[in-house]
């Protein structure tokens, strides 16, 4: 399905710092009160903020560790701005403010070294030091120590509550909240609405709703990463190279091109093109897109449905649908092969492949999940 592709746009990092009460609404999606349950907090590699050995002794290291649902990984946020586990507080050793100052568990004393806020980029910040909670040496190994460090915007400083919907409430039930969607696509065209996307989900209820929570988030990130690449970060609704427009009518099809020779150009999040694809997508969705392909550029939900149609039902130049590639853990690279592998995979265009992979890695970070294996094709 040839299409015009665009590299994704860089994510603008907001410097707005929110009060700790907003931490719950933006990062953990639970209502603020005197002491609210957060549960697991995931970071680099999809691992959890963990109290070593589940000990509540003063000075116990706080580290990164495989998520296991234990009390050592069950955090609450208190009204005084502290993060607590096992009845004690997340604390900066020796009240340090320098890069590399380690964090530990300690009796809650109300000191500035136990106060934390979160900004809109999902950094957890100690205001006194003006530094971010950070994974030492960017390690994903079990036992990697947590520390504070100058805020860099890197993935080892990004945090999400694994058991909730980060970024705010999400009535749709989709694993990507509206605030996360906006974070992924800060410069998107207003045509590509979040409500249009969630309205389209009913057409393919298995999408981002199959397997474990990790698989669901990985699939959502994979779909949106490819979409971002195809549309320049959801900027472009239609293919930009108008010279290609007359090329997408295959006259050998019995139904021809009733909307016109040049009517079947790339549109929407996967840049649907060719008369036979408009026919197949329309038949599957119960929409006469062969006669009226312009609906894909007029109606947000219809555009999103065509993207989900391709993702969930078409192998393209690959050997499996992108949906099956993610659900069966074949890896993100197989989604690239199914969408544009004949032009990009096996060394044909490594820069385009890298663009898609970079988008996917960024989006999995936003969703607080590891990207998995086999990222390239």
Active-site residue set = 230
CA neighbor of 291 nearest in space, from 251, 245, 269, 260: 260
Tally helices (H) and strands (E) across the chain.
Answer: 10, 13
Render 304-332 in DSSP notation, one character per residue: HHHHHHHHHH--TTSSS-HHHHHHTT--H
What is the per-residue burial (b if ≥16 Cβ within 10 Å, else e) of 40-60? bbbbbbbbbbbbbeeebeeeb
Distance separating alpha carbons of residues 206 and 201, to the nearest angstrom: 9
H or E stretch including 60?
Answer: strand 60-65
Strand-pairing partners, residue 77, are: 36, 83
- As a whole number of Å, the CA-based R_g of the chain is 23
Say how many Å lie between the first and final Cα of the chain, rounded: 17
Residue whose structure tokens are 């960024």: 362
Distance of CA 202 to the CA centre of its chain: 20
Compute the CA torsion angle 74, 78, 80, 83 (nearest 10 deg).
Answer: 10
Residue ranges in the chain assigned as alpha helix (H): 20-23, 178-184, 194-200, 213-231, 275-285, 295-298, 300-313, 322-327, 332-344, 350-367
């Amino acid at each position: 399905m040839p299409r015009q592709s665009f590299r994704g746009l860089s994510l603008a990092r907001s410097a707005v710092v929110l009060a700790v009460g907003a931490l719950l609404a933006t990062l953990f999606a639970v209502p603020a009160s005197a002491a609210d349950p957060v549960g697991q907090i995931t970071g680099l590699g999809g691992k959890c903020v963990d109290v070593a050995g589940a000990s509540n002794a003063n000075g116990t290291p706080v580290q990164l560790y495989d998520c296991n649902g234990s009390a050592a990984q069950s955090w609450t946020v208190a009204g005084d701005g502290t993060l607590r586990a096992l009845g004690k507080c997340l604390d900066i050793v020796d009240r340090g403010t320098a890069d590399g100052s380690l964090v530990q568990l300690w009796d809650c004393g109300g000191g500035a070294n136990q106060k934390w806020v979160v900004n809109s980029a999902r950094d957890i910040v100690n205001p006194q030091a003006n530094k971010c909670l950070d994974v030492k040496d960017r390690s994903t190994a079990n036992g990697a120590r947590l520390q504070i460090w100058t805020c860099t915007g890197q993935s080892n400083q990004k945090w999400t509550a694994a058991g909730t919907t980060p970024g705010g409430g999400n009535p749709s039930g989709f694993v990507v909240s509206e605030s996360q969607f906006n974070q992924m696509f800060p410069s998107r065209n207003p045509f590509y609405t979040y409500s249009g996307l969630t309205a389209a989900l009913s057409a393919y209820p298995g999408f981002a709703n199959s397997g474990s929570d990790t698989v669901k988030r990985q699939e959502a990130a994979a779909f949106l990463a490819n979409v971002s690449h195809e549309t320049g970060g959801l900027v472009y609704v239609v293919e930009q190279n108008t010279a290609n427009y007359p090329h997408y009518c295959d006259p050998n099809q019995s139904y021809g091109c009733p909307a016109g020779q040049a009517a079947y150009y790339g549109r929407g999040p996967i840049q649907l093109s060719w008369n036979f694809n408009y026919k197949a997508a329309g038949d599957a969705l119960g929409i006469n897109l062969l006669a009226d392909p312009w609906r894909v550029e007029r109606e947000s939900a219809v555009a999103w449905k065509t993207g989900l149609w391709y993702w969930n039902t078409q192998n393209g130049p690959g050997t499996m649908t992108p949906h099956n590639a993610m659900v069966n853990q074949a890896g993100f690279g197989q989604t690239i092969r199914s969408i544009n592998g004949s032009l990009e995979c096996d060394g044909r265009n490594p820069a385009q492949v890298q663009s898609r992979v970079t988008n996917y890695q960024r989006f999995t970070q936003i969703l607080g999940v590891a990207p998995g294996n086999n990222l390239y094709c």
